[in-house]
Amino acid sequence: MGLSTKHIFITGGVTSSLGKGIIAASLAKLLQSRGISVTIQKFDPYLNIDPGTLNPYEHGECYVTEDGAETDLDLGHYERFLNAATSQDNNVTTGRIYNNVITKERKGEFLGKTVQVVPHITDEIKNNFYKLGKDGKYDVIITEIGGCVGDIESLPFVEAVRQARWDLGPNNILVIHLTLIPYLSAAKELKTKPTQHSVKQLLEAGVQPDILVCRTEHHLPVDVKKKIALFCNVQLNCVIEAMDADSIYDVPLLMKKERLDERVLSKLKISSKTNTELEQWKDFLGKLKNPTMEVDIALIGKYVSLPDAYKSIIESFIHAGTSLECKVNLHLISSEEVNKDNVAKKLTDMDGVLVAPGFGIRGLDGKLEAAKFARENEVPYFGICLGMQIAVIEFARNVLGLSEASSTEINPDCKDPVIFLMAEQKDITQMGGTMRLGAYPCELVKGTKAIAAYGKQKVTERHRHRYEFNNKYLKEFEKHGMIASGKNPDKGLVEIIELKEHPWFVGTQFHPEYKSTVLNPHPLFVRFIKAVGECKQNKS
C-alpha cells in the first residue's frame, strides 16, 4: 500500500441515484486538470459477481473495459470524463468479495480461524480499496461506495471505510457524503432533516464525513448551510451545493465554482501542481450549448423505457454531435412497437437510424424492419453488435433470397445460419463472463467507409457478444454489395460490415460507444452524424 497515495471515499444517503458517479468523475476531472494523477473505483453492494448477468432494466447498461471486465455503468462516466481507461480492478462487488473470501477458506488459507464479516470480509474489501495504489501510479484514488448508507448490503463497506481511516491516518483519507435536500412546495422550504438522519447513520457506523455535497433543486441559503454544518458536524465551507444541471458535463465547472476541489486539496494537504486547466472542457460546453444544426436519429432498441440501458450510446452521440456543432435529437423507439405496417410512419421524419445492441429474440422483427427501411430508402444506418447482425440477416433474406436466414441465437436449427455460434462457445453453460469480451484488434479495408472514418488501418475495439458472422456466406454477401470492411486479423472474424452503394450503412460487431470520451469522440459516431447531416441537407 503506497502511503503517498491519498484516498477519497464517496458515500450516498437519503436515496440512491443522486449522482455519486458524476460527482466522483467531476472531482476527479478537477484534480486531473491540476496535474494530479487520479483514478476512480466503484464498489457495488450487490451479490452478483459482476453486472454481466443483470437485466439492463435493473441496473442500466453493462459497461465493458479494455481488459474485458463487465462493470457498472459509472465506469463509463469515469472514462468519459477522465479520458483514461479503467480495468477489472476499478469495479468490485460484494459477490466478488465473498467469492474471494470463500475460495480462500476452502483452500485453508485462514488456518482454521472462524471466518467472519469483521475482519475477513472487511480485510478483503480494504485490500481492494488499496490495490490500485500499490504501484505508486496515482496520487489520489477516489472510491465510490454504491447504494445508500443504512442499507444492510453496504454496512461492511462503511465499516471498511472506518477501518481505512484508522489504517491511513489523518490527511491521507477523506469522506464525502452525497445527500438530498428536498424542497417541500406546500411549505415552501428546503428540508435538512433527511441529511441529518443520513449523517447520523454514518456516524453510528463510526464514520464522520468531511464534506457534504447536497443535491438540491433550489439554491441553499446561508442559514440552511449553517444548520447543516452545525447538526452534521462539518465546517461551513464544506457544505457544498450541487444544483441540478442542464448537462452532466456542467457539473465539473459547478463543483469548481463551489470550490469542492480546493476543500479536498486543503484537507488532504496536497499542494496543487498547476492551476486548473479546463479550456478544452469549456470549449466542449460552448459547442454543446450553441449548435449550428440539428438532426433527428431513431434509436431502435428493446430497453427504451430505461434510457440508462443505452447510456454509452447516448453519451457518444453528445460527444460526436458536439464536435460537429450538431445537436442530435435522439428518439428512443421500442423495437416491439415497430412492424411492417408502421415502420415508414415511425421512421419517415428521421434523418438516421441506429439499431442498438441486445440479446434474445424479443423485438427482433421491429429491428429487421428498421434495417430494411434504412437500406431501401438510403437513410444512414448504424448497427451495433446485434444491430450489425440484424443488418446481415435482413440483407440475406431480402437481397440474397435466403428467406430462412437467421442467427442460431434465435433459431438454433435455421437453414441458413448467417450468424452463428463459434465452436469454442458451444459447450459453455455459464452466462457470466463467457463471451468475447474486451479489446480485440481490427484491420480495416482500404477505400471503405470504415477506414475513412478512422483514418488509419489498424484499430482496437471492445466486444461483448457470443455470436459471429458466418464466413461461409461472405463471398455471396460481397458479390451483392455488402462487404466486410473490418476483420479480426487473428481469426478472420468479420468486425465491420457496410453497403457499398449507400450513403452510410455500417454495422459493427464491437461496441464503439465504450471508447467515446468528451475529448475523443468516437470516429464512427462522428462520421455517422456527418453522413446524417449531409443526407438531410441534400433532401432539403
196 is in an annotated binding site: yes
Catalytic residue among 7, 177, 319, 511: 511
19 is in an annotated binding site: yes
The rounded distance, in Å, linking the Cα atoms of 105 and 87 is: 26
The rounded distance, in Å, linking the Cα atoms of 183 and 364 is: 44
262 is in an annotated binding site: no
409 is in an annotated binding site: yes
Could you tell me the three cell numbers for 112?
482454521
**Residue among 108, 137, 109, 121 nearest 43 (CA):** 121
3 is in an annotated binding site: no
Specify whether 262 is catalytic.
Answer: no
192 is in an annotated binding site: yes
Who contacts 457 (Cβ-Cβ below 8 Å, separation ≥6)?
A: 443, 444, 446, 451
Catalytic residue among 148, 513, 522, 535: 513
460 is in an annotated binding site: no
What element of type H or E holds 197?
Answer: helix 193-204
Could you tell me the three cell numbers for 304?
427504451
Specify whether 522 is catalytic.
Answer: no
DSSP state of 508: E
497 is in an annotated binding site: no
17 is in an annotated binding site: yes
484 is in an annotated binding site: no
Place of cell 449553517: 226
Place of cell 441540478: 244
The rounded distance, in Å, linking the Cα atoms of 228 and 235 is: 9
57 is in an annotated binding site: yes
**Residue among 311, 314, 281, 316 nearest 19 (CA):** 311
16 is in an annotated binding site: yes
What element of type H or E holds 476?
Answer: helix 474-479
**Residue among 119, 124, 62, 126 nearest 99 (CA):** 124
Peptide bond into 156 cis (omega under 30): no
The rounded distance, in Å, linking the Cα atoms of 260 and 241 is: 10
CB 178 within 8 A of CB 18: yes
351 is in an annotated binding site: no
357 is in an annotated binding site: no
**Residue 497 burial (10 A CB sphere; 0-12, 13-18, 19+):** buried
- Kindly provide the b/e burial profile for residues 377-415, where b requires at least 16 CB atoms within 10 angstroms of the residue's own CB: ebbbbbbbbbbbbbbbbbbbbbbbebeebbbbbeeeebe
349 is in an annotated binding site: no
The rounded distance, in Å, linking the Cα atoms of 92 and 52 is: 13
Specify whether 442 is catalytic.
Answer: no
144 is in an annotated binding site: yes
**Residue 314 burial (10 A CB sphere; 0-12, 13-18, 19+):** middle
Catalytic residue among 62, 232, 326, 385: 385
Who contacts 337 (Cβ-Cβ below 8 Å, separation ≥6)?
A: 346, 366
191 is in an annotated binding site: yes
407 is in an annotated binding site: no
The rounded distance, in Å, linking the Cα atoms of 509 and 512 is: 9
CB 180 within 8 A of CB 215: yes
153 is in an annotated binding site: yes
Sign of the dihedral defined by the CA atoms of residues 405, 367, 312, 428, in that order: negative
21 is in an annotated binding site: yes
167 is in an annotated binding site: no
Which residues are annotated as part of the binding site for L-glutamine?
A: 57, 358, 386-389, 409, 466
Which residues are annotated as part of the binding site for ATP?
A: 17-22, 74, 245
Which residues are annotated as part of the binding site for UTP?
A: 16, 191-196, 227
Which residues are annotated as part of the binding site for Mg(2+)?
A: 74, 144
Which residues are annotated as part of the binding site for CTP?
A: 16, 151-153, 191-196, 227
Which residues are annotated as part of the binding site?
A: 16-22, 57, 74, 144, 151-153, 191-196, 227, 245, 358, 386-389, 409, 466
* Catalytic residue ranges: 385, 511, 513
